[in-house]
């Protein structure tokens, strides 16, 4: 459908150097958008930059540490010097610490919550204020998780941050709807990423996990492409403040959905 076409749009994707962030950038570029990518290490984005440019789209790399407000402000200033518009924001940058709750340190908690929740808010705040509110248009896609609605042992700060992302999404949707900005939360289930790749090396655990997913497999490359483009496009124009779970159905049963590792 023509309304899924993102030609002429500029999309900012945080945490673009690898994993889901790199895939999100490539997916939006395939749909026609030019990309602004961010990473703490700009050189780490060279591979995805080449893939985006091979599609005939522009790619602008920016150094950004979402755990630092000064870095967020500096990055947005650099973006303003580069472009007059950011139509789509994908708040993807995040981190995790896996430990039993009794072993979580103060610094562990701050690292995860500051990156995943505080960073998501302040990137959205600065991009909305600088680009979207003046334009009267925006699509903000906060990346949540199945942990936005379910709790898992060993993931206390992560679950707290992703639950907060869901609530933050609803608040910002109510705040900015008047400005023509939609804010939604795309929540993947169990996907293999750079953060958790070691877990997927255990065949027995993957089988255990898959048995607890109604569709009987973890998420695969491409499963998030359509939902992402939908939320970034005109097709989602009357959808805001919502959580879109792409999890193979694992969230349908919290007790059986707890993967053990």
224-237 per-position pLDDT tens digit:
999 999 999 999 99
Q: What's the CATH code, domain 2-196+220-248?
A: 3.40.50.720
Residue 119 scores a pLDDT above 60: yes
What is the rounded CA–CA span in Å between residue 145 and residue 253? Answer: 15
% of the chain at pLDDT higher than 70:
95
Place of tokens 């895939």: 23
Query: Which of the following is catalytic: 158, 200, 208, 238?
Result: 158
Q: What is the pLDDT of residue 193?
A: 76
pLDDT in tens, 77-108: 999 999 999 999 999 999 999 999 999 999 99
Residue 148 scores a pLDDT above 70: yes
Task: Give the residue, 60 or 98, on which the prediction is more confident.
Answer: 60
Contact call for residues 224 and 144 (beta carbons, < 8 A): no
Torsion sign (Cα): 118, 121, 124, 130: negative
Indicate the pTM of the whole model: 0.94
% of the chain at pLDDT higher than 90:
79
Contact call for residues 228 and 23 (beta carbons, < 8 A): no
Cα 194–43–140 angle (5° rounding)?
65
Q: What is the pLDDT of residue 5?
A: 95
Q: Within 10 A of 115 (CB to CB), how many other CB atoms are there?
A: 20
Average pLDDT (113-137) is: 98
pLDDT in tens, 30-47: 999 999 999 999 999 999
Contact call for residues 112 and 158 (beta carbons, < 8 A): yes
Query: Does the annotation mark 208 as catalytic?
Result: no
SS3 (DSSP) at 64: coil
Q: Which residues are within 8 A (CB) of 230 and not within 5 positions of it... i.e. 6 or more apart?
A: 4, 236
Task: Give the residue, 148 or 194, on which the prediction is more confident.
Answer: 148
Place of tokens 């150097």: 17
Q: What is the pLDDT of residue 109?
A: 97
What is the rounded CA–CA span in Å between residue 41 and residue 63? Answer: 6
Rounded CA Rg of the chain? 18
Looking at residue 14, the DSSP 8-state letter turns out to be S
Encoding tokens for residue 189? 């289930």
Q: What is the pLDDT of residue 252?
A: 87
Domain ranges of the chain: 2-196+220-248
What is the rounded CA–CA span in Å between residue 261 and residue 254? Answer: 16
Q: What is the pLDDT of residue 191?
A: 86
Task: Give the residue, 185 or 153, on which the prediction is more confident.
Answer: 185
The residue among 34, 65, 68 whose CA lies nearest residue 49 is 34
Looking at residue 118, the DSSP 8-state letter turns out to be I
CA 154 to mean position of chain CA atoms = 21
Task: Give the residue, 195 or 45, on which the prediction is more confident.
Answer: 45
Longest dimension (CA), the chain: 52
Q: What is the pLDDT of residue 256?
A: 52
Q: Beginning with the edge strand found earlier in the chain, give each strand of the sheet holding 34-39 in spatial order.
A: 59-63, 34-39, 10-13, 88-91, 138-143, 181-188, 243-246
Contact call for residues 22 and 48 (beta carbons, < 8 A): yes
Q: Within 10 A of 226 (CB to CB), how many other CB atoms are there?
A: 12
Average pLDDT (8-15) is: 98
Q: Within 10 A of 216 (CB to CB), how many other CB atoms are there?
A: 12
pLDDT in tens, 160-190: 999 999 999 999 999 999 999 999 999 999 8
Contact call for residues 228 and 186 (beta carbons, < 8 A): yes
Residue 140 scores a pLDDT above 70: yes
The chain-wide mean pLDDT, for the chain, equals 93
């Amino acid at each position: 459908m023509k309304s899924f076409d993102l030609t002429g749009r500029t999309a900012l994707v945080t945490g673009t150097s690898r994993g889901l962030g790199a895939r999100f950038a490539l997916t939006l570029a395939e749909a026609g958008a030019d990309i602004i990518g961010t990473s703490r290490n700009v050189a780490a984005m060279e591979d995805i930059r080449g893939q985006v440019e091979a599609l005939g789209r522009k790619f602008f790399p920016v150094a950004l540490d979402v755990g630092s407000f000064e870095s967020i402000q500096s990055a947005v200033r650099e973006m303003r010097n580069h472009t007059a518009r950011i139509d789509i924001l994908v708040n993807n940058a995040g981190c995790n610490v896996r430990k039993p709750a009794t072993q979580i340190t103060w610094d562990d908690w701050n690292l995860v919550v500051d990156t995943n929740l505080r960073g998501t808010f302040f990137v959205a705040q600065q991009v909305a204020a600088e680009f979207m509110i003046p334009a009267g248009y925006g699509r903000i896609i906060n990346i949540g998780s199945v942990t936005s609605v379910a709790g898992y042992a060993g993931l206390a700060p992560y679950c707290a941050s992703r639950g907060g992302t869901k609530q933050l999404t609803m608040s910002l949707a109510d705040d900015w709807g008047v400005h023509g900005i939609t804010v939604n939360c795309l929540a993947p289930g169990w996907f293999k990423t750079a953060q958790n790749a070691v877990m997927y090396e255990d065949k027995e655990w993957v089988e255990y996990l898959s048995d607890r997913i109604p569709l009987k497999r973890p998420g695969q490359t491409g499963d998030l492409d359509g939902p992402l483009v939908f939320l970034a496009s005109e097709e989602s124009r009357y959808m805001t403040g919502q959580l879109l779970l792409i999890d193979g159905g694992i969230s349908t049963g919290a007790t059986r959905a707890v993967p053990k590792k």
